Amino acid sequence: MSARCAAIVLAAGAGTRMSSDLPKPLHPVAGRAMVLRLLDTLAAADAGPVIVVIGHEADRVRKEVRSGAPQPERLIFATQPQQLGTGDAARVGLDALGEVPEASDVLVLPGDTPLLRPETLTRIVAIRRRDGAAASLLTARLDDPTGYGRIVRSDSGITIVEQRDASPAESQIDEINAGVYCFDLAQLRHVLPQLRPTNAASEYYLTDAIDLLARSGQSIAAMTLNDPSEAMGVNDAAQLAACEAVLAARPSPS
């Protein structure tokens, strides 16, 4: 990146479906905690400062991340007292970020996406800057999109509909939201206070920020992954094993 981009990593969840006493961000993928794999990727993309939003077993996660992160001096930890959704977590992270004069944009991404590549993050930032968009986001096309938010494209732009809120027609869409965004920092500060928990989960969805920006006339850019495996998240032991298999099959960096 030619100019520094800040980042907010959402790593506050308990991960109850993991059926483990280990906090979700600390589950290892090929021997390294998945949140640390993501921080490796952010370091390789030269992102910083990096806000890590923690919640469940916050002290344990903070200690492990601080001791294992590649650039601990770039890390700032922020605690989300209650897990009220990705929009609330982003707000907690943004409050901790404060004013960063050298950063005009911020990546927001989940801590359970260990397969992202540095060049992917570099590209999504470059696309937002090139297009002058309020935000850019990653999408992927999946044979089975079950569980993911769907990308709904129309003449008025892009919106994201979560699985539990999707209509039968929207549920048939195979283009999914990877949960990785690059926001213009000022636009994100403007839109987050407008989020409301008016959805089936009664949570603050970060995806609603995209919808609000689009409805206000702001442009949203989308980048579709060539390798959809990069969008893989980890919510249970089966997905953890799937991520390990993908990582094992990747060629080693030259």
Residue 1 clears pLDDT 80, i.e. is over it: no
Predicted confidence band of residue 233 (pLDDT cuts 50, 70, 90):
confident
183 closest CA partner among 114, 124, 242, 99: 124
**Residue 17 falls in the annotated catalytic set:** yes
pLDDT confidence tier of residue 103, bands split at 50, 70 and 90? confident
CB distance 160 to 210 below 8 Å: yes
Six-digit token string for 177:
């939201």
Identified catalytic residue from 4, 17, 32, 189:
17
Q: Cβ distance 228 to 140 under 8 Å?
A: yes
Q: How many CB atoms lie within 10 A of CB 70?
A: 13
When pLDDT is cut at 50, 70 and 90, the band that residue 2 belongs to is low
Alpha-carbon distance of 121 to 107, in angstroms, equals 8
Average pLDDT over residues 5-24: 88
pLDDT value at position 159? 86
Cα(153)–Cα(148) distance, integer angstroms: 16
pLDDT digits (tens, 9 = 90+) for 51-72: 999 999 999 999 999 999 999 9
Nearest CA among 179, 176, 199, 184 for reference residue 104: 184
- The one-letter amino acid code at 165 reads D
Give the model's pLDDT for residue 72: 93
Asked whether residue 100 carries a pLDDT value surpassing 80, the answer given is: no
Min mean pLDDT across 16-30, 59-73, 82-96, 113-127 is at 16-30
pLDDT of residue 3: 63
pLDDT of residue 73: 92
Torsions phi, psi for 48 (to 5 deg): 170, 155
Report the mean per-residue pLDDT for the chain.
91
Phi-psi region of 28 (alpha: psi -120 to 50; beta: other; left: phi over 0): beta
The model's pLDDT over 130-189, given as tens digits with 9 standing for 90+, comes to 999 999 999 999 999 988 999 998 887 888 988 888 999 999 999 999 999 999 999 999
| Residue 157 pLDDT | 80
- Mean pLDDT, residues 96-105 taken together: 82
pLDDT in the model for residue 170: 94
Q: Collapsing DSSP states into helix, strand and coil, what is residue 179? A: strand
Closest CA to 80 of 101, 61, 65: 61
In 3D space, the residue among 106, 183, 182, 173 whose CA is nearest the CA of residue 140 turns out to be 173
- pLDDT, residue 13, reads 85
Confidence (pLDDT) at 16: 78
Strand 157-161, strand 175-184: pairing:
unpaired
Query: Tell me: the pLDDT tens digits for 17-34?
Result: 777 889 999 999 999 999
- What is the reported pLDDT for 4? 79
Angle between helices 207-215 and 86-97 (to 10 degrees): 80
Distance CA 192, CA 187 (A): 9
Does 254 score more than 60 pLDDT?
no
